Structure 1
Amino acid sequence: MPEATEKKMGPWGRFLAMPADNPVKTVIVAVVLCLFCSMIVSAAAVALRPVQAENKVLDKRRNILEVAGLYKPGIDVTETFNEKVEPRLVDVEAGTFSDAADPATYDQRAASKDPARSIGLDDDPASIGRMAKLASVYIIRDDQGGIEKIILPVHGYGLWSTMYGFVALKADGNEVAGFQFYEQGETPGLGAEVDNPRWKAQWPGKKIYGDDGKVKIAVSKQVPNADTASYHIDSLAGASLTSRGVDNLIHFWMGEKGFKRFLDNLKAGTV
């Protein structure tokens, strides 16, 4: 190409005039394309973040309604939640309700990662590392204003993931009304069967505490007898570590370091 013509074309013209298989042209096109695509993806992620956060809250509320036995397909989840569910905060160590934060906006998971708002655990069967000082609980009241159900958040490590869920208790703070996870990453077809409706159907009607006040409910392979049937949950077939994780987390959260003090105070009417 004559030098005068090349100068007249300018840098962009010279670039376009390069052969399609020119290595320099190939690298430049690839880099520009990658930068453009990354900008599109980043912009979409930022734009959709509020929608994702809203959907996450909606899914959590749906799970609370489900475990409380209040969910029906087609209902307005937000409206039903606001009408039927009373969010509260509990000081776990004291076992009392707390007004230290707004229950509607409190993020228990974020608090558990903040040393100023959480407690480090030495005896940690649920493998959660730290526990938030304040926990979100959800109260369902009857027509007379009395407590009908208490929904408590629970979480703990299974085989591959930290499983987050809810246990719903009846007003006595002992009989299970429902149990389910809303987030888990266990093995599909094995540990992920914690989401199987048939497995979850075992929980309602079971008791958490024995006559001595100790946590007696157990997820195990043992065949129940007359003494243990009221406390027995069948472990998941082929998923012994996930089953053990569920057993560990339910014992932790229903025990002395978890919600037992709160449930005892609630039963005694001192909260």
Structure 2
Amino acid sequence: MSSKKESTGRTLFVALAVSLVSSVFVAGAAVSLKPVQIENRLLDKQRSILAIAGLGDPNLSGREVKELFASRVSAKVVDLESGEYSTEFNPAIFDPLKAARDPKLSDALPGNEDIALIKRRERYTTVYMVEQDGKLESLILPVRGYGLWSTLHGFMAVKADLNTVVGFGFYQHAETPGLGGEVDNPNWKALWPGKTLFDDAGKPIIQIVKGGVDPASPSADHQVDALAGATLTSNGVDRLLQFWLGEQGFGPYLAKLRNQGV
């Protein structure tokens, strides 16, 4: 009886020791890898911005992405309520998604205003400008909203006229492959360049159209085909664009830029 107890005790002790050592190892690995993970996420975002802006090659190395981004793209933090640039935060490290979770830096959205289904909207966010010889070539706006299964995170790039689409795409989502996941399809993304976002009054008119766009329609220049078999994801994309291009999103900022003749 005594030997059985000792054997059981040793087994439990060994199991506990192995668990403790494993936990320490896993925790240490997580801590040591965190800077690498942060760096990789930043690199992925920069690569996505360059691609949506029509810059660079998808096969650029990490070093080439960093160099191209640093030479062509600049970032600024925008106060979404006033439309003014803010110097309160460093755009290189400011995290709008983290700000959206902070009650001091964000606002809860009433149901009738939360058409993108994001629950909270940050008061400040980061925009990106592609410049050449000191002149604005395109403006890149971060957008997000809920599709069928996930929040889609992406960027909309517009020309210096603040109306014509350069590119549009998502860098993070969990939509169904082959259905809502077709937001990643190059053929669908190729439908966006050249489309117009606003009417003459600055109101968003871009629209996702189920059944396909009629090329002969006078509305064709601001319509894009819906994703086949993915109605809810298509509706989510439509809603998130209406939100972020409207008064709750970048509307005040874009209005100021137009008034300044940018």
* TM-score strictly above 0.5: yes
Q: Does 1:137 align with 2:123?
A: no
Q: Secondary structure at the match of 1:116?
A: coil
Tell me the equivalent position of 1:219.
Answer: 208
Q: Counterparts of 1:19-34 in structure 2 under 5 Å?
A: 24-34=9-19
Tell me the equivalent position of 2:66.
Answer: 78
Question: How big is each residue's C-alpha offset from its partner over 1:12-47, in whole Å with a ceiling of 9 and x where there is no partner?
Answer: xx89xx7xxx65554444333333222221111111
Q: Unaligned regions of 5+ residues in structure 1, if any?
A: 1-5, 7-13
Q: Does 1:253 align with 2:241?
A: no
Q: Secondary structure at the match of 1:164?
A: strand
CA root-mean-square deviation: 2.1
Counterpart residue type for residue 162 of structure 2: G
Structure 1 ranges of 4+ moved more than 6 A: none
Q: Secondary structure at the match of 2:104?
A: helix
Tell me the equivalent position of 1:60.
Answer: 45
Question: How big is each residue's C-alpha offset from its partner over 1:176-195, in whole Å with a ceiling of 9 and x where there is no partner?
Answer: 00011111111122111111
Match of 1:51 among 36, 43, 64: 36
TM-score, normalised by the number of residues in structure 2? 0.90
Q: Counterparts of 1:141-220 in structure 2 under 5 Å?
A: 141-143=131-133, 145-220=134-209
Tell me the equivalent position of 1:120.
Answer: 108
CA distance in 2, matches of 1:134, 1:213: 21
Count how many residue pairs are aligned between Structure 1 and Structure 2. 254
Which 10-residue stretch deviates more, 145-154 or 69-78?
69-78
CA distance in 2, matches of 1:89, 1:270: 20
1:104 to partner: Cα distance: 0.9
Compared CA separation, residues 224 and 211, structure 1 to 2 (3 A)? farther
CA distance in 2, matches of 1:246, 1:80: 29
CA distance in 2, matches of 1:80, 1:223: 37
Tell me the equivalent position of 2:80.
Answer: 92
CA distance in 2, matches of 1:136, 1:150: 11
Q: Unaligned regions of 5+ residues in structure 2, if any?
A: none
1:136 to partner: Cα distance: 0.3
Larger Rg: 1
Q: Secondary structure at the match of 1:105?
A: coil
Contact in 1 for aligned 2:115/2:239 (Cα 8 Å) = yes
CA distance in 1, matches of 2:210, 2:261: 38
Q: Secondary structure at the match of 1:149?
A: strand
Contact in 1 for aligned 2:116/2:145 (Cα 8 Å) = yes
Counterpart residue type for residue 226 of structure 2: S
Compared CA separation, residues 185 and 223, structure 1 to 2 (3 A)? closer
CA distance in 2, matches of 1:24, 1:194: 56
Identity of aligned residues (%): 47
Contact in 1 for aligned 2:212/2:224 (Cα 8 Å) = no
Compared CA separation, residues 247 and 240, structure 1 to 2 (3 A)? same
1:245 to partner: Cα distance: 0.8
